[in-house]
A = this chain, B = another copy of it.
Amino acid sequence: MSISEAASKYQLFSEQADLAKTLGNSHRLFLLELITKGEKAVDQLAELSGLSIANTSQHLQHLKRSSFVYSRRDGKNVLYRIGSSPVLSLLAALSACAEHNRAEIRALISDTFDQKDKLEAISREELLARMHDASMVLLDVRTEEEFSQGHLPGAINIPLDELERRLTELPQDQDIVAYCRGTYCALSGKAVALLRTKGWNARHLTGGFID
Identify the A interface with B (CB < 8 A). Answer: 9-26, 28-30, 33, 65-67, 84-87, 89-90, 92-98, 100-102, 104, 132, 134
Contact yes or no, A93 B95, CB < 8 A: no
Question: Chain B residues near A25 (CB, 8 Å)?
Answer: 17, 21
Chain B's closest residue to A1 (CB) is B48
Which residues of the partner chain B approach A18 to less than 8 Å between Cβ atoms?
A: 24, 132
Which residues of B are found within 8 Å of A14, using beta-carbon distances? 26, 134
Question: Per DSSP, are chain A's interface residues mostly helix, strand or loop, or mixed?
Answer: helix
B66 touches A20 (CB 8 A): no
For A90, the closest partner residue in chain B by CB is B93
Our pick among B13, B30, B96 for the contact of A86 (Cβ within 8 Å) is B96
In Å, the complex CA distance between A21 and B102 comes to 17
Complex partner residue of A89 from B15, B85, B96, CB under 8 angstroms:
B96
Complex contacts, A13 vs chain B, CB 8 Å: 26, 29-30, 33
**Chain B residues within an 8 Å CB radius of A67:** 97, 100-101, 104
Nearest-neighbour CB distance to chain B for A28, whole angstroms, equals 8
| Neighbouring B residues of A100 by C-beta, 8 Å | 67, 84-86
Given A21-B24, A23-B17, A26-B17: A90 in contact with B86 (beta carbons within 8 A): no
Chain B contacts of A24 at CB under 8 A? 17-18, 20-24
